[in-house]
Amino acid sequence: MTKQPAIELKNITKRFGKVVANKNVNLTAYRGEILSVLGENGSGKTTLMNMISGIYFPDEGHIFIDGKEAVITSPKEAFGYKIGMIHQHFKLVDVFSAAENIVLGIENGKYNLKDSAKEIKKISEQYGFDVDPKKKIYTMSVSEKQTVEIIKVLYRGADILILDEPTAVLTPQETEKLFAILRRMRDDGKCIIIITHKLHEVLSLSDRVSVLRKGEYIGTVNTSETSESELTEMMVGKKIDLNIQRDEPKNTEERLTVNSITCVDKTGTVMLDNVSFSVKSGEILGIAGIAGSGQRELLESIAGLQRLEYGDIFYFDPKTGKKESLRDKNPLQIRQMGVRLSFVPEDRLGMGLVGNMDIVDNMMLRSYSKGHSLFLKRNKPKSLAMKIINDLEVVTPSASTPVRRLSGGNVQKVLVGREISSSPTVLMVAYPVRGLDINSSYMIYNLLNQQKAQGVAIIFVGEDLDVLVELCDRIMVIGSGRVTGVVDARTTTKEEIGLLMTKPKDDGKENGNG
Amino acid sequence: MIVQFICRAILLAVPMLYGTTGEIVTEKSGHLNLGIPGVMYVGAISGVVGSFLYENACGNDIANMNGFLAVIIPLLCSIAGSVIMGLIYSFLTVTLHANQNVTGLALTTLGIGLGNFLGASLINITKSELPSIALTKTSSFFTVKLPFADDLGWFGELLFSHDFMTYLAIIIALAVTFVLNRTRVGLNLRSVGESPATADAAGINVIKYRYVATCIGSAIAGLGGIQYVMSYASGVWSNNAFGDRGWMAIALVIFALWKPSAAIAGAFLFGALCNANNYIQGLGTETQELFKMLPYVATIVVLIITSVRKKREHQPPASLGINYFREER
What pLDDT is attached to residue A408?
A: 65
DSSP B244: T
What pLDDT is attached to residue A474?
A: 93
| Adjacency order of strands within the sheet including A474-479 | A339-343, A426-430, A457-461, A284-288, A474-479, A482-488
Chain B residues near residue A107 by CB distance under 8 angstroms = 184
Mean pLDDT of chain A: 83
Pick from B195, B209, B308 the residue to mutate for testing the A interface (most A CBs within 10 Å).
Answer: B195
What pLDDT is attached to residue A371?
A: 60
CB contact under 8 A, B198 and A104: yes
Q: How far apart are the first and last CA of chain A?
A: 45
Chain A residues near residue B202 by CB distance under 8 angstroms = 75, 91, 104-105
- So where are chain A's domains? 5-236, 254-338+424-501, 355-415
Q: In terms of CA atoms, which chain B residue is nearest residue A139?
A: B312
Mean pLDDT of chain B: 89
Res A507 pLDDT > 50: no
Average pLDDT over residues A122-150: 89
Average pLDDT over residues A100-104: 92
Q: What is the CATH number of domain A254-338+424-501?
A: 3.40.50.300
Return phi, psi of residue A491, to 5°.
Answer: -115, -10
Which residues of B, range 152-191, sit inside 8 Å of A by Cβ? Answer: 182-184, 187-188, 190-191
What pLDDT is attached to residue B206?
A: 93
What pLDDT is attached to residue A140?
A: 86
Res A3 pLDDT > 80: no
Residue type, A193: I
Pick from A16, A83, A93 the residue to mutate for testing the B interface (most B CBs within 10 Å).
Answer: A93
What pLDDT is attached to residue A351?
A: 59
Chain A residues near residue B198 by CB distance under 8 angstroms = 91-93, 101, 104
Average pLDDT over residues A285-293: 86
Res A510 pLDDT > 50: no
What pLDDT is attached to residue A370?
A: 63
Average pLDDT over residues A136-160: 89
The better pLDDT of the pair A407, B115 is held by B115
Res B145 pLDDT > 90: no
Indicate the length of chain B as a whole number: 329
Chain B residues near residue A138 by CB distance under 8 angstroms = 312
CB proximity B318 to A under 8 Å: yes
The better pLDDT of the pair A376, B325 is held by B325
CA dihedral B36, B40, B46, B52 (to 10 degrees): -170
Instruction: Using DSSP, state whether B243 is helix, strand or coil.
Output: coil
CB contact under 8 A, B187 and A103: yes
CB proximity B201 to A under 8 Å: yes
Chain A residues near residue B200 by CB distance under 8 angstroms = 75
Pick from B184, B185, B188, B259 the residue to mutate for testing the A interface (most A CBs within 10 Å).
Answer: B184
- CATH fold of B2-314 reads ABC transporter involved in vitamin B12 uptake, BtuC (1.10.3470)
Is residue A69 packed enough to be buried (19+ CB in 10 Å), middle (13-18) or exposed (0-12)?
A: exposed
Pick from B29, B182, B187 the residue to mutate for testing the A interface (most A CBs within 10 Å).
Answer: B187
Chain A residues near residue B192 by CB distance under 8 angstroms = none
- pLDDT band with cut points at 50, 70 and 90 for residue A403: confident
Q: What is the pLDDT of residues A411-468, one digit of tens each?
A: 777 887 887 777 788 888 888 877 677 777 888 888 889 889 988 899 998 888 888 9
CB proximity B305 to A under 8 Å: no
Q: What is the pLDDT of residues A170-188, one digit of tens each?
A: 878 888 889 999 999 999 9
- The beta-carbon neighbor of B198 closest among A53, A91, A138 is A91
Res B49 pLDDT > 90: yes
pTM: 0.77
Res A234 pLDDT > 80: yes
Residue type, A406: L
Q: In terms of CA atoms, which chain A residue is nearest residue B314?
A: A95
Chain B residues near residue A55 by CB distance under 8 angstroms = 201, 326
Q: Report in angstroms the alpha-carbon separations of A174 from A37, A129, B64.
A: 21, 12, 78
Res A292 pLDDT > 80: no
Query: Checking DSSP bridges between strand A457-461 and strand A426-430, what pairing results, if any?
Result: parallel
Gap from A437 CA to chain B (nearest CA, Å): 20
- pLDDT band with cut points at 50, 70 and 90 for residue B327: low
Q: Are A54 and A73 in contact (CB under 8 A)?
A: yes
Let me know if the fold of A5-236 is the same as that of A254-338+424-501.
yes
Hey, which residues does A9 pair with through a beta bridge?
A: A27, A63
Average pLDDT over residues B34-53: 95
What pLDDT is attached to residue A342?
A: 63
CATH 3.40.50.300 fits A5-236, yes or no: yes
What pLDDT is attached to residue A369?
A: 63
Q: What is the pLDDT of residues B87-109, one digit of tens each?
A: 999 999 999 999 999 999 999 99
- The beta-carbon neighbor of B194 closest among A87, A93, A268 is A93
Res A509 pLDDT > 50: no
Q: Are A39 and A199 in contact (CB under 8 A)?
A: no
CB contact under 8 A, B312 and A105: no
Average pLDDT over residues A223-233: 87
Pick from A15, A57, A94, A95 the residue to mutate for testing the B interface (most B CBs within 10 Å).
Answer: A95
What pLDDT is attached to residue B45?
A: 96
Lowest mean pLDDT of A119-133, B152-166, B225-239, name the range.
Answer: B152-166
Q: Are A272 and A263 in contact (CB under 8 A)?
A: yes
Q: Are A94 and A138 in contact (CB under 8 A)?
A: yes
The better pLDDT of the pair B282, B86 is held by B86
% pLDDT > 90, chain B? 54
- The beta-carbon neighbor of B201 closest among A91, A100, A111 is A91
Q: What is the pLDDT of residues A317-368, one digit of tens each?
A: 887 778 888 887 887 788 777 777 665 555 555 556 777 788 888 887 776 6
Average pLDDT over residues A64-86: 89
Return phi, psi of residue A344, to 5°.
Answer: -105, 95
Average pLDDT over residues B201-215: 92
What pLDDT is attached to residue A208?
A: 93
- pLDDT band with cut points at 50, 70 and 90 for residue A512: very low
Q: What is the pLDDT of residues B243-286, one digit of tens each?
A: 888 998 999 999 899 999 999 999 999 999 888 877 877 777 78
Res A193 pLDDT > 90: yes
The better pLDDT of the pair B166, A107 is held by B166
Name the range with the highest mean pLDDT among A103-112, A380-389, B180-189: B180-189
Chain A residues near residue B310 by CB distance under 8 angstroms = 267-268
Buried b (16+ CB within 10 A) or exposed e, B171-200: ebbeebbebbeeebebbbbbbbbbbbbbbb
Residues 6+ apart with CB under 8 A from A507: none
CB contact under 8 A, A95 and B313: yes
What pLDDT is attached to residue B329?
A: 38
Q: In terms of CA atoms, which chain A residue is nearest residue B204?
A: A105
Within A266-422, strands assigned E span: 270-280, 284-288, 310-316, 323-325, 339-343
Chain A residues near residue B309 by CB distance under 8 angstroms = none
